[in-house]
Amino acid sequence: MLTAKSHLSKSLVSITDGKIVGEIKDLYLDREMHQVSAVFLGREGLIKRKTNLLPRAAVHIFGVDVWLISGPDKVVGPEEVPDSDTFVLVGELRGRELVTEGGTKIGVVDDVILDPEARVLGFLLGKVHVQGPLAERKTIAREAVTKLGSKDAPMAVVLAQAEALTVPE
Amino acid sequence: MEYSPSPARSLQGRGAGRLLALAAAALLGLLLSGSLALAVSAAPAAVPPTFVVNSVSDAPAAGSLTDDICDTVFPYGSVHTCTLRAAIMKANHSPEGGATITFDPSTTNGHAIILTIAAQSPDDETTGDLNISHTTRLVGNGAGLTIIDGQGIQDRVFWLETGALVSMSGLTVQHGWAGQYGGGGLYVNSGAALTLDQVAVISNTDNSGLGGGGLLSGGALTVTHSLLGYNKALGSGGGLANNGGRVAIVASTIISNETLAGVGGGLVSYSGQGLSLAQSTVSSNTAAFYGGGLAAEGGYVTVTQSTLSSNLANLDGGGLEALLGAHVSLVNSTLSQNSAVGYGGGLEANQNGSVWLYNVNVADNRADINLTGSGKGGGLSIGSGAIHLQNSLIADNFASVQITGGSIIQWPDDCFAAPVSAGYNLLTHKPDTCSMALITGDLLNPAAHLGPLQANGGPTFTQALLPGSPAIDAANPGGCNDPFGAPLPTDQRGDRRVANGAGATHCDIGAFELQRTINLPLAVR
């Protein structure tokens, strides 16, 4: 199972000359959490901390060992990536509560499950507060999530759908 | 028999005489008019043509193949549609030869040129892969911008015919697929020459079993500042197969390639004029059998200032395997974090293969990673070959050992069988299964004090010697020499040799030379 965590620390290698440009410090998802929308490469500068991003379009191969990217010049600041202010950092998603639409606690997000093209398949749960299939699988498919929540608000899922839908291996 | 000219030949003779008289008269006129110099300079020179690809479609050339006009429609209009296939066809037949093919940024940048004309029989230049038969330069706008994609044809992308002298720069070759002959992305025939500079060869597949997922060459191949990545071969050489030609790779990266049923996950070189690898990285490649990073099956292979790391062999020789009489020299290079299911996590010499190490690090490699008890020599292993080493550092490698009770565990193991020391090597763990005789200058010390594999300057990752390392200043007092006995002026990074602050004039054991550190006196007011 590919997860966002499994990609962390992977090198970003430029196809222009084979050199390592940086490494994956974290991943951004788009607002609707359908796919990885950018790579977070970290911050630089002592006083004015500048964030370095690599937009999804610059990723040539989401590889299992390294990611191949179009070139070092594709690493930019957030202001140069459209809608970057709406992106969700996976690191900040970790720990978000999952509840039913009625408010019953289901569990807590631990990681994001991705397909080989870095599209979101679902979420890996850390804690699970319910019994049954979810407790066994500890995964929830993206389609089962009806509200994505925010830093202060939990995600909402339809429990029956969450139990019925499995995340593809 | 007396010679009798034919009537036609007599006529030609008379005609020639008349032409000569006319030419003489014209020359005289030119001299008189003082315009001879002008006439000579105005004579048409054979200027090689340049074709500008302005379409990402796949269509053959139209019109005469020798007219140096690249278009896919004839009669030609005022605006030409020049596809890559059409440009190559015109280049192949250009009377002047030496054509240059460039790519119009406004129509091709960032849009893959996808080949769509499936191979027909005969597979000539009009269908299937792009056949190049003449001297040609392809100048892309950068590997991230000019992308040539074979996904639509079930064929490789480029086929270089004997006699073709080709250079490619600033482009990507991807998604080629070779069902026969090998060479998923590119095939270089014997007698052809190819230079790749700043080219990415990625995600190509050899499905023929003949090898070379990215590239198979029987000719002369030079690769600089390029990337071979995520290619797969059913045969040998996941990234590249040198099939009896001559290959030089400089400042390039061979990464995440794989053989499904062959040797040499990254590279394989068969007997021939050999393969040289310099200032390059071979990393994260996987071989079904031998040589996760590189397999030499005969011939000469030279590795200098390069790093082979994190490669995996599902049999022996995680980083490198020398077989079938191959002669491999490693100079100022690092083998680190490679793994083998069987013997030789770092490297193995077998079947009369031989390996010479000159100021090399073989560190943090593992053999028998599945803990089956069937592999030894975490760093070095010898089957029926030979390994010679001088001024080299063999440290912190692991294999397996069966302990009381039957369990098999990872255990420090730098070597297996009998590598031959030329002196001044450092080993951290020499198990009973390693019968290497220690000679003058050899050290056996469990604490090598090596840093992690990382960027320490220079073109590749290296492992720094940390303060207190017994390798510092411990190489041969006669100098750190290359295979020809000449002093190595630099270490793997390109930093000068004999530069350390311990005061000795000896260079360091291994690929890394600790540079002089200057302790400035602290002024206290």
Do A110 and A37 share a structural domain? no
Q: Which of A69, A90, A111 is the last residue of a domain?
A: A90
Do A139 and A99 share a structural domain? yes
Which of B10-24, B249-263, B265-279, B396-410 shows the lowest mean pLDDT across its residues?
B10-24
Residue A114 tokens read as 């991705």
The residue-averaged pLDDT of B298-327 equals 97
pLDDT (tens digit per residue) in B227-274: 999 999 999 999 999 999 999 999 999 999 999 999 999 999 998 789
**A61 vs B144: CB contact, 8 Å cut-off?**
no
Does the residue B231 lie in any domain?
yes
Q: Does B227 touch chain A (CB under 8 A)?
A: yes
Rounded to a whole number, what is the distance in Å from the CA of A19 to chain B's nearest CA?
7
**Residue B27: predicted pLDDT:** 44
Does residue B123 register a pLDDT over 80? Answer: no
Does the residue A27 lie in any domain?
yes
Map tokens 């059409």 to a residue: B86
User: Using CA atoms, how far apart are residues B496 and B513, in angstroms rounded to an integer?
Assistant: 7
For residue A68, the chain B residues in CB contact (below 8 A) are 200, 202, 227, 229-230
Number of domains present in the structure of chain A: 2
Map tokens 């009669």 to a residue: B75
pLDDT (tens digit per residue) in A107-145: 999 999 999 999 999 999 998 998 888 888 899 999 999
Rounded to a whole number, what is the distance in Å from the CA of B41 to chain A's nearest CA?
42
**B202 vs A17: CB contact, 8 Å cut-off?**
no
pLDDT bucket at B371, cuts 50 / 70 / 90: very high
Q: What letter does residue B352 receive in the DSSP assignment?
A: T
Do A156 and A99 share a structural domain? yes
Does residue B39 register a pLDDT over 70? Answer: no
**A13 vs B310: CB contact, 8 Å cut-off?**
no
Residue B73 tokens read as 């429609």
Q: Are B253 and A13 in contact (CB under 8 A)?
A: yes
Q: Which structural domain range is residue B405 located in?
A: 97-107+120-444
Does residue A149 register a pLDDT over 90? Answer: no
Give the closest of B142, B251, B283 to A16, CB-based.
Answer: B142
- What whole-number percentage of chain B has pLDDT above 70? 89
**Antiparallel, parallel or unpaired: β B307-309 and A120-128:** unpaired
**Nearest chain B residue to A63, by CA:** B230
More confident residue, B44 or B477: B477
Do A141 and A124 share a structural domain? yes
Helices H / strands E in chain B, number of each: 4, 46
Q: What is the dihedral of CA B167, B168, B174, B176, to 10 degrees?
A: -20
Mutate to test the interface with B, among A9, A10, A17, A67 (most CBs of B within 10 A): A17
Q: Which structural domain range is residue A34 located in?
A: 2-90
Give the closest of B198, B229, B256 to A16, CB-based.
Answer: B198
**Residue B136: predicted pLDDT:** 98
Does residue B35 register a pLDDT over 50? Answer: no
More confident residue, B159 or A152: B159
pLDDT (tens digit per residue) in B51-107: 999 999 999 999 999 999 999 999 999 999 999 999 999 999 999 889 999 999 999
Strands (E), chain A: 2-3, 11-14, 20-23, 26-29, 36-44, 50-55, 59-62, 66-69, 88-89, 97-100, 105-114, 120-128, 139-141, 145-147, 155-157
Q: Which amino acid is at B509?
A: I
Does the residue B524 lie in any domain?
no
**Nearest chain B residue to A57, by CA:** B110
Q: How far is CA B237 from the centre of its chain?
A: 11
**Residue B37: predicted pLDDT:** 44
**Residue B321, CA atoms < 13 Å, CB-side half-sphere:** 40
pLDDT (tens digit per residue) in A15-63: 999 999 999 999 999 999 999 999 999 988 777 788 999 999 999 999 9
**Residue B502: predicted pLDDT:** 57
Give the global pTM: 0.89
Does the residue B78 lie in any domain?
no
Does the residue B90 lie in any domain?
no
**Residue B402: predicted pLDDT:** 84
More confident residue, A159 or B236: B236
Q: Does B142 touch chain A (CB under 8 A)?
A: yes
Mutate to test the interface with B, among A9, A10, A16 (most CBs of B within 10 A): A16
Do A107 and A80 share a structural domain? no
Closest CA to A24 of A1, A13, A36, A40: A40
The residue-averaged pLDDT of B384-398 equals 97
The residue-averaged pLDDT of B405-430 equals 94
Closest CA to B415 of B423, B426, B404, B407: B426
Rounded to a whole number, what is the distance in Å from the CA of A132 to chain B's nearest CA?
35
Q: Does B310 touch chain A (CB under 8 A)?
A: yes
Does the residue A12 lie in any domain?
yes
Q: How many CB atoms lie within 10 A of CB B286?
A: 23
pLDDT bucket at B43, cuts 50 / 70 / 90: low
Mutate to test the interface with A, among B256, B282, B307 (most CBs of A within 10 A): B256
More confident residue, B367 or B405: B367
Q: Which of A47, A65, A90 is the last residue of a domain?
A: A90
User: Using CA atoms, how far apart are residues B318 and B399, in angstroms rounded to an integer?
Assistant: 12
**A13 vs B172: CB contact, 8 Å cut-off?**
no
Number of domains present in the structure of chain B: 1
Give the closest of A16, A19, A61 to B144, CB-based.
Answer: A16
**Nearest chain A residue to B253, by CA:** A18
**A17 vs B142: CB contact, 8 Å cut-off?**
no
The residue-averaged pLDDT of B135-162 equals 96
Do A49 and A21 share a structural domain? yes
Does the residue A169 lie in any domain?
no
Do A143 and A99 share a structural domain? yes
HEC string of B219-285 equals CEEEEECCEEECCEECCCCCCEEECCCEEEEECCEEECCEECCCCCCCEEEECCCEEEEECCEEECC
More confident residue, B21 or B441: B441
**A15 vs B281: CB contact, 8 Å cut-off?**
no
pLDDT bucket at A152, cuts 50 / 70 / 90: confident
Does the residue A150 lie in any domain?
yes
Mutate to test the interface with A, among B253, B281, B309 (most CBs of A within 10 A): B253
For residue B172, the chain A residues in CB contact (below 8 A) are 15, 60
Do A68 and A20 share a structural domain? yes
Q: What letter does residue A84 receive in the DSSP assignment?
A: G
Burial (0-12, 13-18, 19+ Cβ within 10 Å), B115: buried
User: Under DSSP, is residue B407 helix (H, G, I), strand (E, B) or coil?
Assistant: coil
Does the residue B156 lie in any domain?
yes
pLDDT bucket at B519, cuts 50 / 70 / 90: low
Rounded to a whole number, what is the distance in Å from the CA of B226 to chain A's nearest CA?
5
User: Using CA atoms, how far apart are residues A72 and B371, in angstroms rounded to an integer?
Assistant: 41
**Residue B122: predicted pLDDT:** 73
User: Under DSSP, is residue B39 helix (H, G, I), strand (E, B) or coil?
Assistant: helix
Does the residue B160 lie in any domain?
yes
Give the closest of A17, A20, A61 to B225, CB-based.
Answer: A17
- What whole-number percentage of chain B has pLDDT above 90? 82
Does the residue B508 lie in any domain?
no
Do A116 and A46 share a structural domain? no
Does residue B201 register a pLDDT over 70? Answer: yes
**Residue B500: predicted pLDDT:** 64
User: Using CA atoms, how far apart are residues B306 and B445, in angstroms rounded to an integer?
Assistant: 25
Rounded to a whole number, what is the distance in Å from the CA of B63 to chain A's nearest CA?
36
Q: Are A61 and A14 in contact (CB under 8 A)?
A: no
| Size of the A and B interface in Cβ pairs below 8 Å | 72
Do A144 and A103 share a structural domain? yes
Residue B128 tokens read as 């299937």
Does the residue B281 lie in any domain?
yes
**Residue B99: predicted pLDDT:** 97
User: Using CA atoms, how far apart are residues B375 and B345, in angstroms rounded to an integer?
Assistant: 9
The residue-averaged pLDDT of B275-290 equals 98
User: In this structure, what CATH number is given to the domain that contains residue B254?
Assistant: 2.160.20
Rounded to a whole number, what is the distance in Å from the CA of B483 to chain A's nearest CA?
28
Q: Are A26 and A8 in contact (CB under 8 A)?
A: yes
The residue-averaged pLDDT of B200-218 equals 97
**Residue B34: predicted pLDDT:** 44
Does residue B296 register a pLDDT over 80? Answer: yes
pLDDT bucket at B322, cuts 50 / 70 / 90: very high
Do A85 and A20 share a structural domain? yes
The residue-averaged pLDDT of B460-473 equals 95
**Nearest chain A residue to B228, by CA:** A18
Does residue B38 register a pLDDT over 70? Answer: no
Do A84 and A25 share a structural domain? yes
